[in-house]
Amino acid sequence: MQVLKPGRIQAGHSEEVTCTGNGNGNGGCGALLLISSDDVYETFNSDYTGDTDYYKTFCCVQCGTETDLERYTSRLRTDGKRPSYEERKAIGKKNLERAQ
């Protein structure tokens, strides 16, 4: 393959999503978010038979709830790093205090 005329540098892909808590006990805050590949990370669930399902997941910056993206509809890569449990709870606590 040969480049005849250089194009723009690829900056990545973004998607608008809603915080629902889907796949993680629900309980999302309903915020509309613009996320990119840096916000998405892989999570998994293994059952007693040893089967493992993998998910593309993001953590809401407003409430700290994790939401699984629809497996086959999201074009985002999983370039992000999963925040720790403590970090996710701190996000939720900070915004709860702000709301009061």
Strand partners, 33: 17
CA count, 13 A, side-chain hemisphere, 43: 19
Mind listing the pLDDT tens digit for each residue in 6-61?
A: 877 766 678 899 999 998 888 899 999 999 888 999 998 888 888 988 899 999 99
Are the CB atoms for 77 and 40 separated by under 8 Å? Answer: yes
Determine the Cα–Cα distance for residues 62 and 2; give it in Å rounded to an integer.
45
Q: Is 43 exposed, middle or buried, given 0-12, 13-18 or 19+ CB atoms closer than 10 A?
A: middle
pLDDT tens digit sequence for 18-33: 999 998 888 899 999 9
User: pTM score, two decimals?
Assistant: 0.73
